[in-house]
Amino acid sequence: MQDITIRRPDDWHLHLRDGDMLKGVIGDTSRHFARAIVMPNLVPPVVTTADAKAYRERILAALPQGHSFEPLMTLYLTETTDPDDVQRGFESGLIRAVKLYPAGATTNSQSGVRNFENAMPVLERMAEIGMTLCMHGEVTASDVDIFDREAVFIETVLDPLRARVPELRITMEHVTTSDAVEYVKASTKNLAASITTHHLIINRNAILVGGVRPHYYCLPVAKREKHRLALRAAAISGDGRFFLGTDSAPHVDAAKECGCGCAGIYTSINTISCLAHVFEQENALDRLEAFTSLNGPAWYGLPANEARVTLRKHAEPLVFPAKIETGAGPVTVFDPMFPLHWDVVGSIA
Ligand code: NCD
Ligand code: ZN
């Protein structure tokens, strides 16, 4: 048996959904995480401060008894978002960030931004007040190969935007390429990136070899092995610009196992176990805390959590359920394809 103690983790990119699905998944996050940046891509999306306030209340109402968890709310940027509403939400402390989805880039992004010019007033206001923009960094043009969409986004959207509004703080979310890692490392200010658990573990073979495996399909889609290795190197580096955003994105099995399956991988329940495994493999357990618990709050201007959790390595592998049951239907749990030996002491999965 081996123990390590770290500050309680936070998740800087999470989908909690709503209604029965929210009730079914929230406990898997609140068991291990103190806070999470909650994505606003509901149907309809969380667009105004009033929407976010109501959603936050639904999240808190769904928390299991005895759990304490702080949802950090985001607004879904549309071409008609009101800069004053964004500013009021931010200054009241309710809204932590604005989320930009290029229209059509991913699940529930049809209300996203088509013409960036229309989003400029909000982005300029955010730069003035020091508010962070969370970006889904993929172009959507049909002639761009899906595996190139992140790299092309950096070149054609992100870099020009940063040149135009240098004071805008940007989180490149769920980066999947060495191009993104290099771009973030080359920046001198106002840029950081979240990395998911699953992109540290799978490459695109997981989705396609031996049959189509919908439970490994997410967006941005996993890339080839050299990119996974670049993400691992960034995550374990201790570099403050890289931190955990699980992008745990539950969909019921029926919505994934069909002719046109949804993008999203559900990892909340075993993310910490998977990460301890990855960091141990990389001889970097001493830098796990930076990735899960220190770099994210520093970037978002929040204190690190005071509470500590102990992670324990067991001789026998843990047993996680293959699926969780929610009131909305079963949701398949991410299978890292290796046995997991680490768990969080005192928490039963
Ligand atoms: C997310 C979802 O299901 O909402 N899916 C995903 O594959 N990550 C949307 C997103 O973050 O792109
Ligand atoms: Zn996401």
What does the pLDDT look like over 139-149, one tens digit per residue? 999 999 999 99
The distance from CA 212 to its chain's CA centroid, rounded to whole angstroms, is 24
End-to-end CA separation in angstroms for the chain:
19
Residue 184's pLDDT is what?
A: 98
**pLDDT tens-digit series, residues 250-285:** 999 999 999 999 999 999 999 999 999 999 999 999
What residues are annotated to the active site?
247
In this predicted structure, the answer to whether residue 217 has a pLDDT above a threshold of 80 is yes
How much is the pTM?
Answer: 0.97
- What is the rounded distance in angstroms from the CA atom of residue 101 to the CA atom of residue 136? 5
Tell how far the Cα of 279 is from the centroid of ligand 2, in angstroms: 23
- Relative to the alpha carbon of 221, which ligand is closest? 1
Contact 215, 247 (CB under 8 A): no
Contact 69, 34 (CB under 8 A): yes
Tell how far the Cα of 314 is from the centroid of ligand 2, in angstroms: 31
What whole-number percentage of the chain has pLDDT above 90? 96
Amino acid at 73: M
The answer, yes or no, to whether any atom of ligand 1 lies below 6 A from the CB of 136, is yes
The answer, yes or no, to whether any atom of ligand 1 lies below 6 A from the CB of 107, is yes
The answer, yes or no, to whether any atom of ligand 1 lies below 6 A from the CB of 246, is no
What atom of ligand 1 comes closest to residue 106's alpha carbon? 12
Determine whether domain 9-305+329-336 maps to CATH 1.10.3720.10: no
Name the pLDDT band for 349 (thresholds 50, 70, 90).
very low
Which of 291, 194, 299, 301 lies closest to 246 in space, CA to CA? 194
Which of 246, 308, 312 lies closest to 285 in space, CA to CA? 312
**pLDDT tens-digit series, residues 280-338:** 999 999 999 999 999 999 999 999 999 999 999 999 999 999 999 999 999 999 999 99
Tell how far the Cα of 101 is from the centroid of ligand 1, in angstroms: 10
Which residues are bridge partners to 308 per DSSP? 7
**pLDDT tens-digit series, residues 5-40:** 999 999 999 999 999 999 999 999 999 999 999 999
Residue 348's pLDDT is what?
A: 43
What atom of ligand 1 comes closest to residue 108's alpha carbon? 4
Q: Which two tokens stand for residue 287?
A: 């830098």
- What is the rounded distance in angstroms from the CA atom of residue 346 to the CA atom of residue 256? 33
**pLDDT tens-digit series, residues 154-190:** 999 999 999 999 999 999 999 999 999 999 999 999 9
Residue 347's pLDDT is what?
A: 67
- What is the rounded distance in angstroms from the CA atom of residue 94 to the CA atom of residue 331? 30
**Length of the chain in residues, anyone?**
349
Tell how far the Cα of 315 is from the centroid of ligand 1, in angstroms: 34
The answer, yes or no, to whether any atom of ligand 1 lies below 6 A from the CB of 199, is no
